[in-house]
Amino acid sequence: MFTMDPRLTSRQQSKICSELGTVKLKLLYKASIHGFTGTAFHQRCDGHCPTVSVGYNSSGFIFGGYTKQPFNQSGAFAGDKEAFLFTFSGENLLKYPVTNPGNAVKMMANNGPYFGEALVLLYGNHATVYSNPGQHYTFNALEMHGNNLNLADCEVYQVEARLELEYPWRTIIWENQKREELIDSIKTYKPTIKSVSKANILLIGPVGAGKSSFFNSVNSVFRGHVTSQAIAGSSTTSLTTQFRTYSIKAGKEGGLLPIVLCDTMGLEESTVAGIDIDDITSILKGRVSDGYKFNPSAAIDDRAPSYRITPELKDKIHCVTYVLDACKIPIMPKKLQEKQDAIRRKVTSKVIPQLVLVTKIDEACPLVKDDVKNIYRSEYMKQTMQKASALLGVPLSCVVPVKNYSEELDLDPNSDILLLSAVLQMLRFADNCFDTVSNGESDIIASTCAARETN
């Protein structure tokens, strides 16, 4: 029994894949095993697409072509404007795009891969190459294959979407000990400014993104079972109509944790629906009290009972967290993007740290649905988080994924680790806010002292 190992090295496969997007190569046919005939090639490769066909000669040249068209034996030409020929020059891949897209590939029964009338691998059922530069592809024959037309081998690879990365792009420890360490770190956290006992984290996001569900999920972790305190669910309009500040207890009989999650009305496309941007400004400044009922058509004013005239640092927001549904990031409406961008600019102007929470990761990616531990091995989720980074204008290091509890009846340690990691990151970002305040106070003191010395 022969083992069908690819002759292309991993580096060479990566070079080819880099031209095609987020893909991997799966070996379909190898002439040295299946036979140097058109029949063997068609038996293994007909109907498959896209494909990369590769020829090897005794002079050490590696060359071939790519097409999105499935091979068959019709005798007709097939069009493909994305087809190209290639050869390796050392570590470099040289490409020769199709010059006549209508005749990119020819479907011939007694031959192997047939690119235009320019390059044929396994020509006429023999281990040879047909080469005719300029016929629908332009290349230099000496550069392409060194004019050695004898095939040592021929391979055809299926091009497949790559879902799983070879290595995780972020390091995370999936052990119960890590879960307990995260819990302890959150319980023992203390703001760096003595006048503040808790970090206020503002959750902002579109309707249905999972802001309230995030609080419920974090609360569940510390309660030891799935619970639902905040109103959460699926709706076209925001289920949250009030400004709510949620404290979390360290267990049923435990004390309050040093973090407050502030929930807002969801963002909507319309200017007369969802939370008013001016309300967010008031919340950032600490002027809005728990229980204020939002009015989408009018922002809060200083006459409202819930309005604080002179807020203190402990009332202000110390970190803003944007909550985005992973399934909707690629299709977010332009008006909603513009509204989020306007909010981001306001938050940035107030020098408040910003984090992005990506929810519903299991719904967005089958790999993660199978096992949440695949989150940092998923190429799709990496791309989704990169899009979230670009959308909100924050570094990728400020984007963290979570899986909220929505249908489960029992806790999952791995989901807990993602949730707790996100909370700890929020606290670290809040520390950045406190550091900024401390530095500002130091500057004021220094300026006052300098003025006194001058006088």
Tens place of pLDDT for every residue, the chain, 455 residues?
456 889 999 889 989 998 998 788 999 999 999 999 999 999 999 999 999 999 999 999 999 999 999 999 999 999 999 999 999 998 899 999 999 999 999 999 999 999 999 999 999 999 999 999 999 999 999 999 999 999 999 999 999 987 788 789 999 999 999 999 999 999 999 998 989 999 999 999 998 899 989 999 999 999 999 987 765 544 444 555 678 899 998 887 788 999 999 988 888 776 666 677 778 888 999 988 887 777 766 677 777 777 788 899 999 999 999 999 999 998 888 888 988 898 999 999 999 999 999 999 999 988 899 899 999 999 889 999 999 999 999 999 999 999 999 888 899 999 999 999 999 999 999 999 999 887 665 343 333 333 333 33
The radius of gyration of the chain from alpha carbons, rounded to an integer in Å, stands at 30
Question: Under CATH, which number does the domain 176-439 receive?
Answer: 3.40.50.300
**Is the CA virtual torsion 50, 56, 60, 65 positive or negative?**
negative
Q: Is 429 helix (H, G, I), strand (E, B) or coil?
A: helix
Tokens 């909550």, residue located: 323
List Cα–Cα distances, 72 to 38, 39, 43, 77, 113, in angstroms.
Answer: 11, 11, 10, 10, 10
Got the DSSP string for 192-257? SSTT--SEEEEEE-BTTSSHHHHHHHHHHHHHTS----S-----SS-S--B-EEEEEESSSSS-EE
Q: Which one-letter amino acid corresponds to residue 270?
A: S
List, in order, residues 6 or more apart from 67 with CB less than 8 Å away.
Answer: 49, 50, 51, 78, 80, 82, 83, 104, 105, 115
Give CA–CA dist 452/447, Å, rounded. 9
Amino acid at 24: K
**For the purposes of burial, counting CB atoms within 10 Å of the CB of 387, is it exposed (0-12), middle (13-18) or buried (19 or more)?**
middle
Report the sign of the C-alpha dihedral through residues 54, 84, 104, 44, in that order.
Answer: positive
Going by their DSSP bridges, the two strands 199-204 and 244-249 should be labelled as unpaired
For residue 454, report the phi and psi dihedrals to the nearest 5 degrees. -65, -40
Structure tokens at 42: 């068609």
Q: Which two tokens stand for residue 199?
A: 């970090």
Spatial strand order in the sheet of 354-359: 244-249, 256-263, 199-204, 319-325, 354-359, 399-401
pLDDT for the residue numbered 1 = 46
CA angle 41, 47, 48 (to 5 degrees): 80
* Domain ranges (residues) in the chain: 10-161, 176-439
Residues in the chain: 455
Tell me, what amino acid is at 166? E
As a whole number of angstroms, the distance between CA 234 and CA 204 comes to 17
State the Cα–Cα distance between residues 3 and 172, nearest whole angstrom.
35
**Read out DSSP for 74-122?**
SS-EE--TT-EEEEEETTEEEEEEBS-GGGSEE--TTSS-EETTTEEES
First to last CA, the chain: 94
pTM: 0.67
